[in-house]
Each structure stands twice: as C-alpha cells, then as structure tokens.
Structure 1
Amino acid sequence: MLSSTPLRWPGQARASVAMAFDLDGPTGAAMLDGSLWGKPEYFTFGGYGPYRALPRLLDMLEAHRTPATFFVPAWVVETWPRQCQAIVERGHEVAYHGYQHESFFTLTLAQQRAVMERSAAIFKRHLGLVASGFRTPSGDWHADTPALLLDCGVTYSSSMRGDDRPYFIDAGDASRRLVEIPGRWELDDYASLAYTRAPDYPAGLDRIASYDQTLDNWCREFDGTYREGLCMTTLLHPKISGKPGRIGVLEEFLVHMHSHADVWFATCNDIARFWAQEYADD
C-alpha cells in the first residue's frame, strides 16, 4: 500500500516539490460583497500582486530554473491579461481559481458550473489555453464538486488537506477520479507574513513573523518532506511574499531545496499526470 512503501518519483528522485502561487489580486470577499470599491487602499494592496510582484517572482523562478503553477481567478486574467500571459510565456502553468475568488461551498452546483464555464472562456480568450487544474478559492467544496470539475475538463485539484502525498478523489464511481495535490497551511505565506488593516485579515493578526523564523519554518517543512520522500505544494501569494524584502526569504527557501540534487521540481499538472499514470492501479 502507498502508506507503507516509498513513493516513486521520476528520475529516481527522493521527493517532489510543486511551487504554487495564488495570484488573487484584489478578488475575494470584499470584491464579492462590494465593499472593496469603497476601499482603494485594499484594492491597491491586491493589485500589487499581478501588477508589480508577479514580474519579480517570474524573474526569480527563472534564475533558479524552477517551474511553478499559478492559480488565477479569471477576473484577474481579464484585468491584467498581459501580466498573466507572461506566466505562460515564461513556461509556467496557469490553473483555475474561481472568477472572483468565490467560496465554492456557498454556491449551488449550477453556480459553480457557471463560474467554471466563465473562467474557461476567459482563459481561452486571453491566454489561449484550456487549464487542467483547479484550486478552490475558499478551501472547501460540495461533495459533488469533484464530478463537476471533471465534467468541466479539470483533471486535478490542489484544494484539500487530506495527505502530504497526492491521492485520488472518486467522483461518483472508481472510473472517474480526480487527482488531489494537497497544499498545507504551514506553507501559506498569509499565516506568517500578511497584515492588512481593513479588512482585518487574517483576523487577530497584528504582527508579522520574523523573516528568519518564517524561512526556518518553511525549510523544516521541506526537510520533513524530503526525509519521508513525499510531495510538497505551497500556498503562496505574490501580493504577500513577492515584495522586495520578502522575496529574499522565498529565494533562500528555493536555494535550500535546490541544494538537494534528488528533488523533482514540477508543475502541479506534471505531478498530477505522473500520479495518474504511475498509481492508476493503487
């Protein structure tokens, strides 16, 4: 069983890493309830991600020859198409993340389908591609959402927290399965580095963590992944960790991981395709 045998990775790698970013921009609850439009400060906080932080991140990833996956709300693609096109041009993956970062758990299946269809049309129009991946904006969904995602052409998700390895989610029957590449809150930069005054998010967080402590935490998470031969996926946000000082933390994190020669760095889609083929009978 997978739980008792070492995982197999391409090229006899010991572990795998998928660097994943949520390019949310200013989407989210404040946009959905309309309060964002009365808070220019918060709009610019979000807009900093695709407008200013993203190019810096793309340069860093190129310098370290690291592929990445960007989960992007379709509204962000509409609003900053040229910046999002650069993600594809630089060889990275773009995947679905709602239209305006909706909470999928609050939507009916019909509403979820409408979001997915609208997102697919925008991705095709502005990026010329059909995405294969999805990350639920709110970290939850309905029991029937996996089947809906498969119907919409999605082959993998990076939404749940059920393991530190990829796994399959049955969508009605064993013949229809979605690959899940779980992320973890420990590797979410919001938990350590975010601070906004209005709205107060994360609630109760009035100080950011030490950059040294944040780097140490992230490196320890990778070290555990490497030791056990697992798969690590991040939940990073350009508007949070793509700033001039903080990107240094992220770069040191990459250097630490790349110091291990037998790590497979891949997009989420590459990991999902490998998992679906290699572990189809498990």
Structure 2
Amino acid sequence: MNATHSRWPDGARAAVMITVDHDADLALLTGSPTIADRGKTLSVGRYGTDRGIDRLLALFAELDLPATWFIPGRNAERHPQTVRRIAAAGHELACHGDAHEDFQPLTLDEQTRAIRTGADRLRQVTGAPVRGFRTPAGDWKPGLGARFANAGLDWSSSSPGDDLPYLHPGTHGVVEIPVQYELEDHQYFFFNLEPPFPAGQSRIASYAHVLGNWTQEFAAHHRYGLCYVLRLHPEVTGTPGRIGLVRELITHIQAHPDVWVATGSQIADWWRTSHPTNDPGHPADLFARLRSGQGRAA
C-alpha cells in the first residue's frame, strides 16, 4: 500500500471536512464599524441566521453529514437557540473568536482573550465541547498557538499554507487543518452595494463555474490523497439557489466510497496520532526556526 492510501483511516484515499462560519453581521461590523446603524447592509449578514442556517442544517441531515461550525462567542449569546440546534443536530462547534475580531491589530494578550472568551461563551450556551479554532480575520501573533491549551483548544483551521494537516511548532501538539481560498463561498458570491464589497463590484460568480471549481479541486485532492476543506457561510450559500450547489458537491463527494468525511476534531486527532512530528523540512518548522533567530535553514 502506498503512502497516499495509508494516510487516512481504513485505507481512505482522501479526507473531507465540511465547515460553516456563522458570522452573521459581526463580520460586516468588524470590517466597517460605521455601518452599525445601516439596517439594510446588516441584513445581508443576518440573512444567514434567519434563513441560511436552517437550509444548511436540513441539507446536512438529509445527507447524514457531520460538519464543523465556527461560531463567534457573541453570536452564541445573541442566538442561543439557533446555536443549540446546531449542536443538537450532532455537528461540532468550534471557536471563531468572540466578536469576529480583526486579529491583525490585536496584541498577543488581546488575541488570547478573544479565543478564551469566545470558546467559553460557546461552551456555556451549549454545554458542548469546543476544541477547534478559526481566525475570524487577520493573522495570529507568534506564540498564540502555545496558549491554545489554556483555552481548551488543540487544533486550528485558519491557514492556507498546505494541502495536509501539520503540527504548529512550539505548541503542545496543536494541529493545523489548512483551508484554501478557492474552496470558500465568500470570494465567489458575497456582495454588498454600499459600502461596496468587493470594492470593484464585478461579481457575483457563475454558479456552474463555482461548482466546477469545487468539483475539480475535489478530484485533485482525491487523486493525491489530500485533505479537502470546504468553507461555507449561511448568508452566502444558504440561499434557495446556492444550497443546490452545496447539495450537488456533497452528493458527488459521497459517491466516492474511499473518502473519509470527518469533523475537525476527528481529523486533528487522527493526524496527531499518526504523524506525531512534521515531515523533515516542513515549511512550518523552517519558518519557526528563522523567526526564532536560529539562522537560515540549510
């Protein structure tokens, strides 16, 4: 058996992780706080809570699919019944900050506070375990991964820097499950007139083309034995038409019997056990060495 076929449980050729970011209007407010009194713009984000989540939950139930939902802590407090329904449906809950903060300008202590508070709010509202994290916006400060354990977290799905999971150097086994921009719905479909998003305004993308992109990426991930991470937003693909794209894609994936569809914690646990160290020369380790001042990698 070659390395590709032995990489995943029970000889699966590839892994698939379906994820949902429940940002609601918090992401809009983070990007442009001046829109706080603009109900029409905020309704673009609130649509996901009001309509999109129910469509995604119904689809996942129909297809018997486990998903991982990244939820800011304040959304759990603002929409407790909705978040409890997500947990009750058997899906995994993961931390997405507290108020969907932009991590870029925050200090390390402020980032630490955001993940701890966000994860604690989720646990308090649902009583469900919270082990994973996805950066809402911006980037981590060096050292944040080493503080994950204090927040009860042990994996992340925030970085686009690889096709397979890896261990964050300098942490207690924190696993990164990379996510790729081309496997998100936001870049293709999210749209607002004022303030304009995207700034140039020239999209919404063709539904058929997006499905083609996602399907072609799955074919490549399956061929090479990689980890395919789909990132959805209820306000973006929870619409009457776009939910059909998600159905077609997942049905196509499920037609492959040699694919392991799993939650973030399942993938992280498998990878941590089967790959206790990164492969020699892994970019994450080389970057950590350079950043710590140990000199240029050989």
* TM-score interval for Structure 1 and Structure 2 normalised by the shorter chain: over 0.9
Q: Alpha carbons of 1:281 and 1:115: their partners in 2 closer, same or farther (altered >3 Å)?
A: closer
Is the aligned partner of 1:270 residue 2:266? yes
Structure 1 position 205, deviation (Å): 3.3
Once residues 230 and 107 of structure 2 are traced to their aligned partners in structure 1, the CA distance between those partners, rounded to angstroms, is: 28
Aligned mate of 2:200, from 199, 204, 207: 204
Aligned mate of 1:178, from 164, 174, 185: 174
Question: RMSD in angstroms over aligned alpha carbons?
Answer: 1.6
Trace 1:1-282 onto structure 2 (pairs within 5 A): 5-6=3-4, 8-28=7-27, 30-31=29-30, 34-171=33-170, 176-282=172-278
Quick check: which has more Rg, 1 or 2?
2
Q: Deviations over 1:78-126 (max 9, x none)?
A: 1111111111111100100011111112111121122123213311221
Secondary structure in 2 matching 1:234: strand
Once residues 57 and 121 of structure 1 are traced to their aligned partners in structure 2, the CA distance between those partners, rounded to angstroms, is: 25
Once residues 205 and 10 of structure 1 are traced to their aligned partners in structure 2, the CA distance between those partners, rounded to angstroms, is: 44
Equivalent position amino acid for 1:131 in 2: V
Contact 1:113 1:148 in 2 (8 A): yes
Contact 1:27 1:101 in 2 (8 A): yes
Equivalent pairs counted in the alignment come to: 276
Secondary structure in 2 matching 1:106: coil
Q: Deviations over 1:27-64 (max 9, x none)?
A: 12525763232210122111111221101101101111
Contact 2:100 2:136 in 1 (8 A): yes
Equivalent position amino acid for 1:205 in 2: Q
Q: Deviations over 1:236-275 (max 9, x none)?
A: 1110001000000111011111111110000111100111
Once residues 29 and 158 of structure 2 are traced to their aligned partners in structure 1, the CA distance between those partners, rounded to angstroms, is: 21
Q: Any runs of at least 4 consecutive aligned residues in structure 1 with deviations exceeding 6 A, and if so which?
A: none
Q: Alpha carbons of 1:139 and 1:37: their partners in 2 closer, same or farther (altered >3 Å)?
A: closer
Q: Alpha carbons of 1:32 and 1:189: their partners in 2 closer, same or farther (altered >3 Å)?
A: closer
Q: Which runs of 5+ in 2 are unaligned?
A: 279-298
Percentage of matched positions with identical amino acids: 37
Once residues 202 and 24 of structure 1 are traced to their aligned partners in structure 2, the CA distance between those partners, rounded to angstroms, is: 17
Equivalent position amino acid for 1:82 in 2: Q
Q: Which moved more, 1:151-160 or 1:121-130?
A: 121-130
Once residues 241 and 42 of structure 2 are traced to their aligned partners in structure 1, the CA distance between those partners, rounded to angstroms, is: 21
Which residue number in structure 1 is paired with residue 282 of structure 2? none
Contact 2:30 2:101 in 1 (8 A): no
Secondary structure in 2 matching 1:136: coil
Once residues 233 and 105 of structure 1 are traced to their aligned partners in structure 2, the CA distance between those partners, rounded to angstroms, is: 24
